[in-house]
Chain A
């Protein structure tokens, strides 16, 4: 009998489940025939399997099968559609970077455009005007006038348009200082005051005192243009008189005239060249010296075109209704003493103005008045913002002196408000408030003043006096002022 050999229990499992190779299975079968122990082990395994096979097979539920298949179909569609593009680092940054670059380009372009437009506007405003002499309060010390060559340089910088044909103005007196070329740089290049004509010392003083950066002036120049146009529009009522008086000679409405002036100025700014240099002196004379120094007529500045000059010469010059009262008010509204040393220069200027064509003078004077008022007002407000009330008062005085009509009343009210801030005492009515009272008795500043007076009177009443006796003496005016200020919103 063949010996069954060692037990093959380790192979019985594979044999039972049919995982043995055919040869191995035959060896196991042969071994099992001669080995009762292994045979018994196999029967034990198969017995358990037979019993456990009685456990029925459970059918899988159908719930959830549809959703599963739908999900699988969707996944298959995604696969068919192809993989989504991977979000690489450069793709994540490309859109924000492009947006930033676009914004930067827009910002740079807009800055360039605003800068260039500001220069053109500045040039257009400064071309036809000559600066008046400021009052002495505006500057404590006399300084050397800005040479005309600086004006030339500035004007040349700012005017980049095509040259303008020379204006046939014959009455102009040459201004030698403006013709002399000089390459000396201006310390305040770009400032509004830098381009003042030679004779305008006050502008230089103001320029010296003004610490604002050049960019701010350029911005203001842009604002100035807008406000000037608004002012001209607002002055329609005051200008109506002028226009009505003028209508006998020239039936052009005042506002149209003003707009024509602005348009002409813009045209002037777009012209440059040698012809302009020739016509520049005439321009200065034409527009008079009474204007503020918004870039007097340097060689780069332009003379008015032929058309307005022709109109001016053709039309008999009626006395300018708006400018004449303005001049008289200018003289009367301001104290004589502070402007004493400037009067001589003004007289010289006025002589030149008298030589110019009256019609052109009328139009130019109106515009120059607006220019002066606006510039002074702007400077005053800036000074007020910085808390320099003295300087603000000085500028407002100048503005009030140059302004007329409602504008003058507005400025008086503004000045009165500053005066009330500077001097809260009500012993004497401040000068601007006194000037304001006949024109606008119900103005806010005068109401504030009246409330303050009432508060003081209340404090001086017997009952208040009794209370005041109980309180420290220094507290009375302080409390009254505080109460008045709170009431007035100051």
Chain B
């Protein structure tokens, strides 16, 4: 298993390189001169040239990419061109927030979707199933930012106890890091997480329902039933595991993608996460910051998908044996 995991990780590296190289290339295609932006309109020619040299803009693209990559591997993403502060330090808070939010929303949507999905599959075609499926089908079509606005509206309307919303509202307080106060952290992230979870859980639910329905028609379920096991036990112990593979893949992809897609939700709930960082950075042509965010998100994405692949072996013995033979 370890060998397989290592090999899987090795194949992830070219993707990482390609993606960051692609983004570096695109950044260098950006119109406008970053040195000019950083210095302002009144810069002299010598200043401009010096600044370009400082940023490394006078070097060819492959050299620039190589030096960036060699620094990035050591955790040094350079300095922001606009503010001059090291990127790694200023990024860590935002990254923490975004990651917490992504994980929280995934957990929340799993909590919603798994019980409902399993129940819908258990009573396939029944009234509850049809109801749940219809709702899920509708929720998939809700755009994330509309859901966010809806949740924000509900919170504003029904949880404000006078005063100016934000300070007095339990759910709309500023973000508190998890380590300082877990409960408050969850409270502050509940709204954004819920609005992400609405669409996400509907997607998960449909997947669970389909997979579970096919699993429940398998022979071993019938066997278990004929041995007199209770339905609940069968659902939880026999049927759930084999029907969770597709879900695992989708959850993995969702974690990877949500970091990027949280941009909008963060904007709505005015959280200072990665999304906000990258948005301002791209607008201001802040090359190192943008690259760092792209790199971080891609790393997380690739890591999670790799991890899911490895987890397959843990959850599904068949995959494990197939690997041993191969």
Q: Do A and B interact?
A: no
Identify the A interface with B (CB < 8 A): none
